[in-house]
Amino acid sequence: MKYSATVLRRIGGFITVAGLASLLAGCDVGETFDGFGWPQGGISQQSEKMYDLWIASVVAALAVGFFVWGLIFWCVVRYRKRGTDLPVQTRFNLPIEVLYTVLPFLVVSVLFYYTAVIQTNVNQVSANPNVTVEVVAFKWNWQFNYRSGPGEAAKTEASVTGTSSLIPLLVVPTGRTILFEEHSKDVIHSFWVPELLFKRDVFPGSTRNEFQVTIEEEGRYVGRCAELCGTYHSMMNFELVSVSPEKFEQYLAALKSGKTQPEAMEAIGFTGDKAYAVTTEPFETKRDSKAANS
């Protein structure tokens, strides 16, 4: 049975269009396909931009894949062996060679452009953020200093320090630009809140890493150290608490007045166990006499 080139082209085109249509079905392609491996549930504007870039890149890659697979199957059917005669031998085809040289370059250029734009946006830091938090990492806990502004010359207005029996809470407002300035007192640590879809290393010495986010959802999210920093690295947790700007101001005022972290949380309505971390809990350090003797 013989197929005309027109019929085969139509079949190939139909398969390609049908595949892309099923791929793009629904309001959110990423949600339909579980993010194509990218974690969902980002809570900041920056995480949404990175998520959109990933989804667009995967869809573009699949579109190219469907096109190539369509050409392969079309060649398999159209140019299959039909007898003993040797097919026409084409030494070169200049238009096709130019096409498969230029087209990949264009695809890569477009992906590179949008990657550079998103990366620049994610790493952008404003000169006057609404909130500046100095993140100080040490073995094996965190200190969060609420500063009067960016830069080392700014003053610390309030501070929260974690202990082996108290998980530190990093309370921040939603809808505001938050600048994190990071440095370590000893070794390299890494500041990571999974829902931010972003982490950055915390270095000792004069290096001060910084990044900025705008969180859009209220909630409580576990934070971790993502750099192997020693014996109790796995116990170096904290909790990010995003609240309304009004509650954040009340919380900050409570800290400034001398109240403890739990007391400041109670001042904004988090009473009882909710005044402490709910996403993680202090770990036993196993430093009792039995462990030492054994």
Domain architecture of the chain: domains with CATH: 5-81+90-122 (no CATH), 131-282 (2.60.40.420)
Which whole number is the average pLDDT over 199-219?
92
Following DSSP, what letter does each residue of 39-61 receive, concatenated?
A: PP---BHHHHHHHHHHHHHHHHH
C-beta neighbour count of 275 within 10 angstroms:
19
Which amino acid type is present at position 120? Answer: T
Indicate whether this model's pTM tops 0.85: no
Specify the pLDDT at position 188.
95
Helices 94-122 + 45-78 axis angle, to 10: 170
* 133-151 mean pLDDT: 94
Mean pLDDT, the chain, rounded, equals 85
Residue 286 has what pLDDT?
61
Angle between helices 5-23 and 45-78 (to 10 degrees): 160
Top pLDDT among 47 and 243 is at 243
User: In the predicted model, what is the mean pLDDT of residues 97-117?
Assistant: 90
List own/partner pairs for 9-14 with CB under 8 A and 24 or more apart: 9/74, 12/70, 12/71, 12/73, 12/74, 13/70
pLDDT of residue 26 exceeding 50, the answer is: no
**What SS3 class is residue 13?**
helix
Tens digit of pLDDT for each residue in 8-25? 455 455 444 444 444 444
Average pLDDT of 52-67?
89
Q: Which residue has the higher pLDDT, 7 or 111?
A: 111
Express each pLDDT in 242-264 by its tens digit. 999 999 999 999 999 999 999 99
Model confidence at 143: pLDDT above 50: yes
- Residue 140 pLDDT level (bands cut at 50, 70, 90): very high
Cβ-count burial 125-157 (b if 16+ within 10 Å, e if not): eeeebbbbbbbbbbbbbbbbbbbeebeeeeeee
Q: Strand, coil or helix: what is 71?
A: helix
The whole-number pLDDT of residue 21 equals: 45
